[in-house]
Amino acid sequence: MPAGQTDPTLASFTIDSARANLIPVLKQILAINPSVAIIAAPWTAPRWMKDNGAYVGGSLQPQYYQAYANYFVKYLQAMKAEGITITAITPQNEPLNPNNNPSLVMTAAQQATFIKSWLGPALQAAGLTTKIVVYDHNADHPEYATSILDDAAAKAFVDGSAFHLYAGTIDALTTVHNAHPDRNLYFTEQYTASNGSFAGDLRWHIKNIIVGAPANWSRTALEWNLANDETFGPHTPGGCSTCLGGVTINSSTSAVTRNVAYYIVGHASRFVDPGSLRVASAVAGGSKTTALPNVAFRTPAGRYVLIVMNDGKTTTSFNISYGGRIVTSSLSVGSVATYVW
């Protein structure tokens, strides 16, 4: 809306801005794999709903809680009309970060109130089964998620909570799981930088995200973002200009370059099929602080997948023991391998 104007009935609501690029790309993705689940996380409410009237920072004004809940409903319905089902939403991406462009600050108490009194009932009244996932920010504040889940009225509408790892440690997810084991956990964002090192990023992300997130009860391990061009675009004004996509697509030649995030994700995504279950894995005589971080899964087809990384300082040989059988393998420093049987 133009500055100074409001639209509490959402008479001007539209998703036309998404029709040029976003919707066509999502349709291409779903044509390739219709089972892909999509989570939608807003950067900000419309400016006229905020107490500072700006894209950056500010908070949602309580008098617009109903309008914003209706905004979510309209968005989900409009995307569905395009053939795109949104599996889950988070009320706010990085709700404790006032500096992104755009951004919105939403405290845990505000999010709990918005969910239990407005968003949850609005989705329910519209017959929508879209999951509500809370928090969607760094692991240094697990109490944000647990405080919402401690509110029984809010928890009734909540599927689980989501985390990033730009601050905190990944075991914070286990803290939330232990407090509310009946709710899901999701790891939803971590980027690799264009000025980072392939070896260093591979090592850190495998240890903390691909191994660490599922080992701490997360149902997902997502890298951000999927793809960009050679100038790290497109992005919003003020958006990240150094975030490296999983692939780089040259804007002139359409040539594809596979970056470190492609290989980080590939160690799991090529082998751990949707519906797989994490199973126990441990280093004999050691602990999860071992120099061999690892996580194991059983796939729906009954196969086992083990991902192991050498986080030590020397080449390490080790045995993989299962069902009375043993195989020996070796990994150089910083290397990662996926084993399937």
Task: Work out the number of other CB atoms within 10 angstroms of the CB of residue 181.
Answer: 10
Helix (H, G, I), strand (E, B) or coil at 284: coil
Tokens of 116: 């239990």
Would you call the peptide bond into 70 cis, given omega within 30 degrees of 0 as the criterion?
Answer: no
Tokens of 223: 């890298």
Instruction: Give the whole-angstrom CA distance, residue 291 versus residue 336.
Output: 12
Among residues 82, 94, 143, 230, the one annotated as catalytic is 94
Catalytic residue chosen out of the listed positions 82, 189, 223, 230: 189
Q: How far are the Cα atoms of 124, 255, 288, 290, 338 from residue 282, in angstroms, in the given order?
A: 43, 42, 7, 9, 15
Query: In 111-183, which ranges are E strands?
Result: 131-138, 158-164
Q: Decide: helix, strand or coil at residue 5.
A: coil
Q: Taking a C-beta distance cutoff of 8 angstroms, is the pair 172, 138 a contact?
A: no
Helix (H, G, I), strand (E, B), or coil: what is residue 163?
Answer: strand
The helix/strand/coil state of 268 is: helix
94 flagged as catalytic: yes
189 is catalytic: yes
Distance CA 200, CA 275 (A): 30
Distance between CA atoms of residues 246 and 223, nearest Å: 8
Q: Which residues are known catalytic residues?
A: 94, 189
